[in-house]
Amino acid sequence: MTSYTAGEPADREMSSDRECKPLPPVNSLRTTFTMRKRITMNAQKSNIAVAITEPIGPDGDNVIPEAGEQFVGTSQVKDLTDRAAAYLAVGYSVHFAGAAGTGKTTLAFHAAAKLGRPVMLIHGDDEFGSSDLVGRDAGYRKSRLVDNFIHSVVKTEEETRSFWVDNRLTTACRDGYTLIYDEFTRSRPEANNVLLSILEEKILNLPSLRRTGQGYLDVHPSFRAIFTSNPEEYAGVHKSQDALIDRIITINVDHYDRETEVLITMAKSGLPMADAEVIVDMIRNLRLVGVNNNRPTVRACIAIAKVLAHLGATTEADDATFRWICHDVLAGDTVKVTRAGESLMPKKVDEIMKKVCRRKSKS
Ligand SMILES: Nc1ncnc2c1ncn2[C@@H]1O[C@H](COP(=O)(O)OP(=O)(O)OP(=O)(O)O)[C@@H](O)[C@H]1O
Ligand SMILES: [Mg+2]
């Protein structure tokens, strides 16, 4: 007789291989195939093949996001997260799209925190295949038990166990977690195909688990996904599938407003408001120079402010320390703006620094 049984205690009692541990920290399904052979005195044999699918948990591979002390919740931040929360509440998944340093990942975490569910985090990767998202077979283990407890009966039992290891997407779908798929367009579009049926039909297709009756998994009603992405023209970013974009709601994010940037700079560095304002005004002015007005980002504000606070320097145009910090932090952005082969930006930085500092001393 051949039968497939999902996790029956009686079958588990028969097994000799109880000590196998799941691979931490991922959630696992353990599938056990047991072939039992009973040889009695009159040489009658009985063979039973049994498959056991044993879910192993809890997985502990999730995070519970919470706003830290440095989190800044201005009306702009609230507006963006409220919009995301409205879409998530009615069952849609949300996508924050925008240039580097516009706060997408932070907003994704904040929106996820508002849902109050554990969060699974995935970072897009060009090397990803679908199995990196959903899971994979993680090998086999064979064991043999010879039982001659009653001298007239020899019972042999052979068991082959295959291990299936869930990856984070499967765990999130199964347990109704929130998935943050950060920079999902860094994965190749075909690796993300598995998301199409999750988002539309609310079914996760797991072909490798078909034999155990787990080939399709109903997505938990609390499951939500929050995506972030950079523009397609960025290095290492793939074009996203139209079908995926069609299933999610995209919120385009731009640089934060001045108030938010000033408060973030203060929160991250501990600098007083007047100094944070000088730095933020400089950066916002520099964004208007050249063709790429996405750089420098608020990260440059934070970096300049942190080093300044650490050294106890001031935001005065004639403070040599302030000047070299700005030149160094902005070097990565400024080399791209050249005239006759020479970088324009050190001059621009000095000019804008003087202009902004003059304004500060007048006020
Ligand atoms: N609301 C906020 N409160 C405090 N800090 C913030 C807030 N939003 C963003 N930041 C800070 O601004 C910086 C940029 O934010 P974040 O990393 O979220 O941007 P991003 O758009 O995901 O950038 P990238 O595209 O490069 O990944 C980070 O240092 C982050 O901590
Ligand atoms: Mg990010």
pLDDT at 151: 76
pTM over the 0.75 mark: yes
Q: Which ligand is nearest to the CA of 96?
A: 1
Q: Which of 105, 262, 304 to mutate to test the pocket of ligand 1 (most atoms within 8 A of CB)?
A: 105
Cα separation of 132 and 273, whole Å? 45
pLDDT at 240: 87
Q: Is 72 in the pocket of ligand 1 (CB under 6 A)?
A: yes
Cα separation of 114 and 108, whole Å? 10
pLDDT at 334: 58
* Closest C-alpha to ligand 1, atom 9: 103
Does residue 157 sit within a domain? yes
pLDDT at 185: 95
Same domain, 267 and 152: no
Q: Is 100 in the pocket of ligand 1 (CB under 6 A)?
A: yes
Does residue 295 sit within a domain? yes
Same domain, 221 and 358: no
318: containing domain: 258-362
pLDDT at 213: 62
In the chain, which residues have pLDDT < 50? 1-58
Q: Decide which of 165, 188, 221 is a domain's last residue.
A: 165
Q: Decide which of 253, 273, 290 is a domain's last residue.
A: 253
Q: Decide which of 209, 230, 253 is a domain's last residue.
A: 253
Q: Count structural domains, the chain.
A: 3
Same domain, 176 and 189: yes
Q: Which of 69, 74, 233, 298 to mutate to test the pocket of ligand 1 (most atoms within 8 A of CB)?
A: 298
Q: In one letter, which amino acid is 253? A: V
pLDDT at 336: 61
Same domain, 149 and 93: no
Please name which of 312, 319, 309, 324 lies closest in space to residue 357, comparing C-alpha atoms: 319
Same domain, 348 and 306: yes
Q: Is 185 in the pocket of ligand 1 (CB under 6 A)?
A: no
234-274, pLDDT tens digit by residue? 889 998 889 999 999 999 999 999 999 999 999 999 999 99
Please name which of 221, 103, 214, 86 lies closest in space to residue 162, comparing C-alpha atoms: 214
Q: Which ligand is nearest to the CA of 67?
A: 1
Does residue 101 sit within a domain? yes
